[in-house]
């Protein structure tokens, strides 16, 4: 679909057992069945079929154990960005620990791929104002963690974020790329991916994306490799809410995502940022 307003595809590269909803202790991660390689391989195939470039926010833990998978992503022309190392919520760790996390992950990803890593996304969108200052100190130039939506039990918040503005300069030379919401009666409805994408009928979700683009708002979508993996291990004993969030329509997600790849023109978040800034020189 032709549209002069840019849309960016993003993938948060983590494995199924690293999702907070499942509650699997990080000390047990190495003993779990690894499925991220096969899932990423399938995603790369689908994006190649549709001629899509995306941004992959890679977990350092994954990169260290699956370096060839990360190199394949980079060699296919996708942007490599950071998702931190251990998938820890920012507001639950110290500033010193956070700084070491993002510094080490940036260096690891750059050594693996030869790409400069300039972007970051917080695990579970748990971004904070203090984290932005540390990200800028460590050489990042954008964050894509702000989700200006209704209350969520894990999302963080940033001060001074303007509503209905996707690309915002929140520090000199540092930009926030907000994850997409659909304006409904003055409220931001999540319209960017994840469980929301799996919950809604595809035709309705697609119509919402078209509406955002029609309103000249750049669009940011996100997904995880485990979301296209209906064969992943099932965890018993989770609460109803977390079970619903994680497994809802997971068997339909790959086909829905493939449709989405073909229905819109996609770019990376870094390229979207540059396109918006070049077309709107007064963006601040």
Pick from 162, 78, 95: nearest CA to 135: 95
Strands (E), 29-155: 54-58, 79-82, 119-120, 142-143
Q: Which residues pair with 80 in a beta bridge?
A: 56
Three-class SS of residue 187?
A: strand
Tell me if 142 sits within 8 A of 118, measured CB to CB. yes
* CA distance linking residue 81 with residue 142, whole number of Å: 10
DSSP letter string over 115-130? Answer: ----EE--GGG---HH
275 pLDDT higher than 60: yes
- Predicted confidence band of residue 77 (pLDDT cuts 50, 70, 90): very high
Q: What percent of the chain has pLDDT over 70?
A: 94
Task: Please give the pLDDT value at position 187.
Answer: 74
Predicted pLDDT of residue 282: 53
- pLDDT score of 277 more than 80: yes
CA distance 76 to 64: 19
Predicted local confidence at residue 107, as pLDDT = 98
Cα-to-chain-centroid distance, residue 209: 17
For 101-122, what is each residue's pLDDT tens digit?
Answer: 999 999 999 999 999 999 999 9
Q: With bands split at pLDDT 50, 70 and 90, how would you rate the model's confidence at 231?
A: very high
pLDDT tens sequence across 170-224: 999 999 999 999 987 777 788 999 888 999 999 999 999 999 999 999 999 999 9
Number of H helices, E strands in the chain: 10, 10
In this structure, what token pair is assigned to residue 175? 């930009």
Dihedral (Cα; 238, 145, 209, 5), 10-degree rounding: -160
CA distance 183 to 149: 9
Among the ranges given (206-220, 221-235, 244-258), the one the predictor scored with the smallest mean pLDDT? 244-258
0.85 surpassed by pTM:
yes
Burial class (CB in 10 A: 0-12, 13-18, 19+), 7: buried
Which of 35, 70, 11, 3 lies closest to 197 in space, CA to CA?
A: 11
Strand intervals (E) in 15-135: 54-58, 79-82, 119-120
Tell me if 228 sits within 8 A of 247, measured CB to CB: no
3-state secondary structure of 238: coil
The predicted-structure confidence for 11-48, as pLDDT tens digits, reads as follows 999 999 999 888 899 999 999 999 999 999 999 999 99
Residue 128's CB is within 10 A of a number of other CB atoms, namely: 19
Token digits for 264? 């819109």
pLDDT band at 236 (very low <50, low <70, confident <90, very high): confident
The per-residue pLDDT for 162 is: 84
Is the pLDDT score of 271 beyond 50? yes
State the Cα–Cα distance between residues 224 and 240, nearest whole angstrom.
21
Burial classification of residue 139, based on how many CB atoms lie within 10 Å of its CB (0-12 exposed, 13-18 middle, 19 or more buried): middle
In the predicted structure, residue 284 carries a pLDDT above the cut 70? no
Per DSSP, 186 falls in state T
Nearest alpha-carbon partner for 241 in 156, 181, 154, 182: 154
Tokens of 106: 């940036």
Determine which of 20-24, 48-52, 74-78, 234-238 has the lowest per-residue pLDDT on average: 234-238
Q: Which residue has the higher pLDDT, 153 or 36?
A: 36
């Amino acid at each position: 679909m032709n549209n002069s307003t840019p849309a960016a595809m993003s993938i948060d590269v983590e494995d199924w057992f690293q999702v907070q909803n499942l509650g699997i202790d990080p000390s047990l991660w190495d003993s779990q069945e690894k499925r991220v390689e096969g899932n990423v391989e399938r995603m790369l195939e689908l994006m190649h079929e549709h001629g899509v470039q995306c941004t992959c926010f890679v977990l350092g833990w994954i990169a260290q154990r699956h370096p060839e998978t990360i190199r394949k992503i980079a060699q296919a022309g996708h942007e490599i960005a950071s998702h931190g190392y251990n998938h820890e919520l920012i507001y639950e760790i110290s500033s010193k620990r956070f700084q070491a996390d993002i510094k080490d992950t940036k260096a690891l990803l750059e050594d693996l791929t030869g790409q400069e890593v300039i972007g970051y996304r917080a695990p579970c969108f748990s971004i904070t104002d203090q984290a932005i200052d540390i990200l800028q100190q460590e050489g990042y130039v954008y964050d894509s963690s702000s989700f200006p939506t209704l209350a969520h039990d894990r999302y963080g918040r940033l001060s001074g974020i303007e509503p209905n503005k996707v690309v915002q300069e929140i520090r000199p030379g540092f930009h926030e790329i907000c994850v997409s919401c659909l304006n409904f009666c003055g409220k931001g409805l999540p319209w960017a991916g994840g469980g929301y994408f799996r919950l809604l009928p595809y035709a309705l979700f697609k119509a919402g994306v078209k509406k955002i683009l029609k309103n000249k708002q750049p669009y940011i979508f996100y997904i995880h490799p485990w979301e296209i993996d209906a064969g992943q291990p099932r965890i018993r004993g989770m609460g109803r809410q977390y079970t619903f969030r994680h497994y809802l329509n997971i068997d339909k997600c790959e086909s829905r995502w493939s449709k989405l790849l073909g229905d819109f023109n996609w770019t990376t978040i870094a390229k979207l940022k540059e396109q918006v800034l070049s077309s709107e020189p007064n963006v601040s």
